[in-house]
C-alpha cells in the first residue's frame, strides 16, 4: 500500500515574518511527487501570514497545538474552529514538550486528537520515550501506553486520518539522532502494534521520525520501509537545510 510521505516543520517558539517570507518563497518553487505533503507549523501569530503566501498545492499549514475544548473560558487556548478559519489542516498533538513542561496526559492528548478529527483537522500525534526508558528497554511499553488511550478514545478505524510522529525524547534538540536501523525498528513496532487491532489501517498510517533530523541524515532515514517522512525541528528554521530535506522526499 502506498502511504503519504509527509515532511512537517515544527518551528516551536521561534521564527518571525521574515522567516515566513523566506521559507515560503523557497519551498513554493519545489515540485513534489503527488503523494508528498509538506506541513509547516509556525507559531500562532504567523498562521495568517503563512497561509497568505502558500502557492504550492503540496504545502499545508499546521498548528503546534489544539485545544480539546470547543470554546469557553480557557484563556490562551486555540480552538479547532479558530484554526479552521485560518485554513489550518494539521495540528501537532502530544509533543514531548507539551507532555513534560505543560503536564499534558495521554488522556488529554487523546481528547485533543478527537477534537481535531471532529473538525476536519489531521492530528500529528507525537509519541516517544526518554533516554532512561530507552536504556532500560522500556521503549515499546512507553509507546504502547501513549497510543492506547488514543485508540480507546477514537477507535482504531479513525487512525486512517491520523499521522503518528515518533520522536525519541533523548534526540529532540540534542543533536543526537537514532540510527536509521534503530528508527526503523521502532517504527516497525508502532505499525505492528496498530496492526494487532487492524492490519489494513496500520498499513496506511503515515509514520514520521523526529529527533534532530537534518539535511545530512534525512535521506537515509526516509528510505526506511516504515518511515514515511519526518517532523523537523531546528533544521526547519534554516531555509537551505529545510529545502534540502524537502527535496529528499521522493514519495
Residue 167 annotated to the active site: yes
Domains delineated in the chain: 5-247 (3.20.20.70)
Give the pLDDT of residue 251: 60
Q: Helices (DSSP H) in the chain: which residue ranges?
A: 17-27, 47-53, 80-85, 96-100, 106-118, 131-135, 139-154, 180-195, 199-204, 218-222, 239-247
Q: Which grid cell is 131? A: 533516554
DSSP secondary structure letter of residue 229: E
How many C-beta neighbours within 10 Å does residue 160 have?
A: 12
Active site residue 187: no
This prediction's pTM = 0.96
Spot the catalytic one: 129, 167, 187, 241. Answer: 167
Q: Which of 95, 97, 129, 241 is the catalytic position?
A: 95
- pLDDT tens series, the chain, 251 aa: 579 999 999 999 999 999 999 999 999 999 999 999 999 999 999 999 999 999 999 999 999 999 999 999 999 999 999 999 999 999 999 999 999 999 999 999 999 999 999 999 999 999 999 989 999 999 999 999 999 999 999 999 999 999 999 999 888 777 777 899 999 999 999 999 999 999 999 999 999 999 889 999 999 999 999 999 999 999 999 999 999 999 888 66
User: What are residue 207's phi and psi, to 5 degrees?
Assistant: -110, 125
Q: ∠212-172-78 over CA atoms, to 5°?
A: 110
Amino acid at each position: 500500500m502506498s502511504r503519504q510521505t509527509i515532511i512537517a516543520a515544527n518551528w516551536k517558539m521561534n521564527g518571525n515574518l521574515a522567516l515566513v517570507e523566506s521559507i515560503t518563497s523557497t519551498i513554493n518553487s519545489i515540485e513534489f511527487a503527488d503523494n508528498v505533503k509538506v506541513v509547516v507549523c509556525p507559531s500562532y501569530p504567523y498562521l495568517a501570514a503563512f497561509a497568505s503566501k502558500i502557492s504550492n498545492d503540496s504545502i499545508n499549514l499546521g498548528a503546534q497545538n489544539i485545544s480539546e475544548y470547543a470554546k469557553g473560558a480557557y484563556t490562551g487556548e486555540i480552538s479547532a474552529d479558530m484554526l479552521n478559519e485560518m485554513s489550518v489542516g494539521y495540528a501537532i498533538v502530544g509533543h514531548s514538550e507539551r507532555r513534560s513542561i505543560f503536564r499534558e496526559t495521554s488522556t488529554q492528548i487523546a481528547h485533543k486528537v478527537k477534537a481535531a478529527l471532529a473538525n476536519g483537522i489531521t492530528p500529528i500525534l507525537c509519541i516517544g520515550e526518554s533516554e532512561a526508558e530507552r536504556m532500560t528497554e522500556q521503549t515499546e511499553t512507553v509507546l504502547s501506553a501513549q497510543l492506547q488511550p488514543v485508540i480507546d478514545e477514537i477507535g482504531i478505524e479513525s487512525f486512517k486520518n491520523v499521522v503518528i510522529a515518533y520522536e525519541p525524547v533523548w534526540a529532540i534538540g540534542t543533536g543526537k539522532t537514532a540510527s536509521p536501523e534503530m528508527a526503523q525498528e521502532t517504527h516497525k513496532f508502532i505499525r505492528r502494534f496498530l496492526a494487532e487491532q487492524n492490519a489494513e489501517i496500520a498499513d496506511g498510517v503515515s509514520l514520521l521520525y523526529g529527533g534532530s533530523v537534518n539535511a545530512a541524515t534525512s535521506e537515509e532515514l526516509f528510505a526506511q520501509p516504515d518511515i514515511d517522512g519526518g517532523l523537523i525541528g531546528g533544521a526547519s528554521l534554516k531555509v537551505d537545510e529545510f529545502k534540502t530535506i524537502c527535496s529528499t522526499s521522493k514519495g
